[in-house]
Amino acid sequence: MPHYTLLIGGEHVDTSESYDVVSPGNGEVIATVAKGGVEHVDLAVAAAERAFKESGWRETPAHVRADVVEKAVEQIGARAAEISELSARENGTPIRLAGGLSVGFPIMHMQYFAGLARTFVADRPAYANGSVTGIIRNEPIGVVAGIIPWNFPLLLAVWKAVPAILAGNSIVLKVDEKTPSTAFVLAEILSDCGLPAGVLNIITGDGETVGGHLTAHPRVRKISFTGSTATGRTVMRNAAANVKQVTLELGGKGANIVLPDADLDLAVDGTLWGFLMHAGQACESGTRLFVHDSIYDSFVERLVKRASELTVGDPTDPATDIGPVMNAAQRARIESLIDSAFEEGATLEYQGKPSATAHEAGQFVPPTIFTNVTSSMRVAAEEVFGPVLSVMRFSDVDAVVEEANNTEYGLASGVWSRDIAAATEIAGRLEAGTVWINDWHSLPGPLPFGGHKQSGFGREMGPNAITAFTNEKVISIDQSGRGARAAWSLVLP
């Protein structure tokens, strides 16, 4: 059975305590991982700072850093089957989906980040007036803290670590103890491809204690955090102590609007993908569905029929469409929201069942669709983070836009229509960082991703993915040296 140790300064560091890594598909312990403490945070930050100052990585040309990342892409591709299997066993990603989510997406984004690095110019002329010229310089920040959840561990490790190191920084990455393996694979591969020791460090530990100490650490200069809105507020408070830069990607409650002229087959499949991908365990899931009155009955009928065709079961079985949720606590939370929907008067339109391949010890929550939902119900107001859909009617576009925006969240929304101009106009009125039109969950590297309102701030990916991990410095040069004398001549005798 594998045992994962912390990675600090290029050394594998074990601890006196460990976590069990439990497969949500069958309840088996599949690995153990060292349990870090605050002392390991201090060691990792010190190692990262030492690497930033002494390894020469920040002075390495950006195109050479890109070479390291592109070599790593090749190795990840060569180990695709291994990584997919790890993802299926460790966090329940259906093996048929893992090749894309757990390998393909990370590769695509690493390639995009490496391409950005090849065009990155640290110094760019910005001003010229007579003898005075100005340069804007983008410099690496220093030690970055990255904190990732359990739902997409390799992809989110890539989003945090790769742009940070391509910018010349070093990073301490805190991974979730429930899904540690693929981040350690990434670190191993990057090291083999030439990343200096200490540039990427990986720790685990209790979120409140270890995560709190990391985000408050005075030697950390930027935090990139993905997780719940509640924890994001704590991260902000900790960062304020020494005014760290912060990027927060937090919770969501995606509003999905189907207009009367939508392609119903496309919208039905897109809606299912929007709330069932990875058993609904994605912050950008579309769990609030608004369907126009004129197509409501037909749409719901089609939605239920298609949902009934999906297989819920063993994530390592290629026939499985939907795997388990992460653990018993996650399952209990989702089921409590399902119970609340019954108590508050919603109608259960459909609830699937695990297939014969689903192990009795697995944490399975089948697709669940409620109608007659109102926005005041818990199931429609709270982030479910599971395969549960709330369906609501609308007849007026202005009213549905207002209802869609009636949430503390603002991460993602969607509009389905054949009239792209009309859909785009509605998209412009929705309070969300991403609005998909006739699509859901598409996250190509060139497009930035992040939230509005309490879904966070700052962006990952996109054309500024690397510069987001830099500080801007202005260098103003007076070739003549007369500027300061001229200024002083106004006040000096």
Q: Any idea which residues carry the catalytic annotation?
A: 249, 283
Kindly write down the DSSP assignment for every residue of 456-475, as one continuous string.
EES-BSSTTTTGGGEEEEEE
Nearest to 194 by CA among 365, 354, 60: 60
Q: How does strand 6-8 pair with strand 11-13?
A: antiparallel
**Burial (Cβ within 10 Å: 0-12, 13-18, ≥19) of residue 329:** exposed
Strands 18-22 and 288-292, bridge-based pairing? unpaired
Tokens 């083999």 belong to which residue?
Answer: 192
The four Cα atoms 398, 404, 408, 411 give a dihedral, to 10 degrees, of -120
Number of Cβ within 10 Å of residue 245's Cβ equals 16
Pairing mode, strands 200-203 and 11-13 = unpaired
Geometric angle at alpha carbon 204, from 190 and 101, rounded to 5°: 55
What tokens does 459 get? 């962006």
**For residue 91, what is the enclosing H or E element?**
helix 80-91
Three-state DSSP class for residue 3: strand
Nearest partner of 83 among 111, 103, 105, 100, judged by Cα: 103
CA 117 to mean position of chain CA atoms: 21
Whether the Cβ atoms of residue 354 and residue 312 lie closer than 8 Å to each other: yes
Burial of 27 (0-12, 13-18, 19+ CB in 10 A): middle
Contact at 8 Å (CB) between 368 and 384? no
Can you say how many angstroms the Cα of residue 241 is from the centroid of all Cα atoms in its chain? 25
